[in-house]
C-alpha cells in the first residue's frame, strides 16, 4: 500500500472524529512516512513498517480522551416567551383560527371549481349524445338539418372530451399542490 492509499484509508477510519483531530493524525502519519522515505525506504516499506490501518485506528481511538458531550440547550421557548404567548392568546388564537379557516375555504373553493369542470364535461357529453340521437330522427326536415345536428353533436362530444382531460389535469395539479402545501406546513413545525 502506498502513502496516498494508506492516508485515504486512515481518513475513512477516522471519520466521526473532530476535523482538527483527523488533520492532526493524517499530518503525523504523512510526516512519519516522509521521514522513513528520506532514510531510504520505499513508500510501501514505510507503510508496512507502521502496521495495519486497523491497528493504528485502534491505537488512536484508545489514546483519545473520552469527552462527555456538552448538554445542548433546547430550542424551546423561554419563560418570557411563554408568558407573552399566554397573555396574548385571546388575540392571536382567533387570528390564527381565521387564517386557517380562510385557507381552508380557498382550498375547498378551488376543489369546487375542479368539480365543476367535470360537471361541464358530463353536460357537454350528454348534450352531444342527445343531439346525435335527435339528429338521426330529423330526416323529414332535410339532409342539411341532419348533418348540422350530427356535426353539432360531434362538436359537443369533442368539447366534453377536452373538458374531461382538463378536469383530470386539474385534479393532478390539485393533488401536487396539496402535497406541496402540506410539506410547507410541516416544514414550519
Of 22-26, 72-76, 85-89, 147-151, which range is least confident?
Answer: 72-76
What's the confidence (pLDDT) of residue 120? 95
Does pLDDT of 126 surpass 80? yes
Q: How far apart are CA 39 and CA 180, in angstroms?
A: 64
d(CA 188, CA 27): 44
| pTM score, whole prediction | 0.49
| pLDDT above 60 for 32 | yes
Q: Write 60-64 long-range contacts (CB < 8 A, 24+).
A: 60/14, 60/25, 64/17, 64/21
d(CA 37, CA 44): 9
**Residue carrying the nine cell digits 472524529:** 17
| C-alpha–C-alpha distance, residues 24 and 41, integer Å | 23
Rounded mean pLDDT, 143-155:
92
**Segment 50-92, tens digit of pLDDT:** 888 888 888 888 887 665 555 556 667 788 888 888 898 889 8
Are the CB atoms for 149 and 130 separated by under 8 Å?
no
pLDDT in the model for residue 46: 84
C-alpha cell at 53: 490501518
1-10, 39-48, 66-75, 119-128: range with lowest mean pLDDT:
66-75
Indicate the DSSP class of residue 66: P
Are 60 and 15 in contact by the 8 Å Cβ rule? The answer is no
> How high is the pLDDT of residue 179?
92
CB 1 within 8 A of CB 16: no
pLDDT at 3: 85
Q: Do the beta carbons of residue 29 and residue 50 sit within 8 Å? A: yes
**How far is the C-alpha of 156 from the C-alpha of 150, rounded, in Å?**
10
Q: Is 2 helix (H, G, I), strand (E, B) or coil?
A: coil
Amino acid at each position: 500500500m502506498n502513502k496516498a492509499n494508506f492516508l485515504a484509508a486512515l481518513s475513512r477510519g477516522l471519520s466521526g472524529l473532530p476535523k482538527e483531530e483527523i488533520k492532526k493524525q493524517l499530518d503525523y502519519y504523512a510526516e512519519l512516512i516522509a521521514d522513513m522515505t528520506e532514510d531510504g525506504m520505499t513508500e510501501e516499506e514505510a507503510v508496512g513498517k507502521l502496521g495495519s490501518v486497523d491497528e493504528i485506528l485502534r491505537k488512536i481511538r484508545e489514546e483519545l480522551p473520552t469527552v462527555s458531550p456538552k448538554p445542548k440547550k433546547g430550542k424551546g421557548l423561554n419563560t418570557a416567551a411563554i408568558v407573552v404567548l399566554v397573555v396574548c392568546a385571546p388575540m392571536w388564537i382567533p387570528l390564527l383560527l381565521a387564517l386557517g379557516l380562510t385557507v381552508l375555504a380557498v382550498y375547498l373553493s378551488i376543489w369546487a371549481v375542479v368539480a365543476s369542470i367535470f360537471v361541464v364535461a358530463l353536460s357537454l357529453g350528454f348534450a352531444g349524445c342527445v343531439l346525435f340521437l335527435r339528429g338521426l330522427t330529423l330526416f323529414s326536415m332535410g339532409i342539411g338539418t341532419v348533418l348540422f345536428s350530427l356535426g353539432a353533436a360531434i362538436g359537443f362530444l369533442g368539447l366534453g372530451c377536452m373538458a374531461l382531460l382538463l378536469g383530470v389535469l386539474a385534479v393532478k395539479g390539485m393533488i401536487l399542490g396539496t402535497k406541496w402545501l402540506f410539506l410547507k406546513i410541516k416544514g414550519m413545525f
